[in-house]
Structure 1
């Protein structure tokens, strides 16, 4: 799994228990998956269709640095399926796992649009 983004836990990211608010973390995950999918599918109109059960393994505290990892499970006709893990950067302790997130590329009418992708592409390879 490749860890793409790091987030620094600040006071505004905490819940009343003083740990990272789960909703904030899910928003970060959703945004990271959207950005990753937009780049992979080369379509800015890519949306979240499905997110499987989430499993909080541990918490994060103010001052912690977390990193978001994404791995492609498969390419569908108009979709890309990902899995995600968020871990503490310093301890490598897993904070949350999500086994399946499905992102769908849309056309100008908001309907699924086939993307023709079958494997992960790196931007550096597209620039040749």
Structure 2
């Protein structure tokens, strides 16, 4: 699982108990998972079809930095299923886990599902190449 996105918990993100509002983190998860799926499939014509089990493990407080880890779980003909783990950047403690987030590729005109043409093997190879590029960039900055 790669943790490549971060968010700062702001006062406007809190609930009545002064911790991160569950609805806000779900919004972030849907957005982060969609961006991940868009990058994996190479199309922004995707819709969220399903979000499976969501488990809230610990509160997040104002000022904490959260990081979002995403991994491809399954690839279908028109869909991609991902898992998202939200954790506290400093402590690495799990805040929330959202499993079985399903996105479906749709035709931009008809809005009907359409094959995306990717396989799990292709996406794994693509991810390895992206990580190599990031590692090269990181090495150049040192």
Query: Which TM-score tier does this pair reach, normalised by the shorter chain?
Result: over 0.9
Post-superposition shift, 1:13?
0.6
Unaligned runs of 5+ in 1: none
Paired residues in the alignment total 125
1:101 aligned partner? 101
> Separation in 2 of the partners of 1:124 and 1:24?
29
2:111 aligned partner? 110
Post-superposition shift, 1:97?
0.7
TM-score by length of 1: 0.92
Post-superposition shift, 1:66?
0.4
Post-superposition shift, 1:124?
4.8
1:23 aligned partner? 23
The higher-RCO structure (CA 8 Å, 6+ apart) is 1
Spell out structure 1 runs of 4+ moving beyond 3 A.
Answer: 122-125
SS at match of 2:30: helix
Equivalent residues in 2 for 1:30-69 (5 A)?
30-69=30-69
Unaligned runs of 5+ in 2: 132-142
2:135 aligned partner? none
2:90 aligned partner? 90
Q: How well do the aligned residues superpose, as a CA RMSD in angstroms? A: 1.4
> Separation in 1 of the partners of 2:97 and 2:44?
26
SS at match of 1:77: coil
TM-score by length of 2: 0.84
> Separation in 2 of the partners of 1:34 and 1:71?
12
> Separation in 2 of the partners of 1:40 and 1:53?
22
Equivalent residues in 2 for 1:71-90 (5 A)?
71-90=71-90
Structure possessing the higher radius of gyration over alpha carbons = 2
SS at match of 1:58: coil
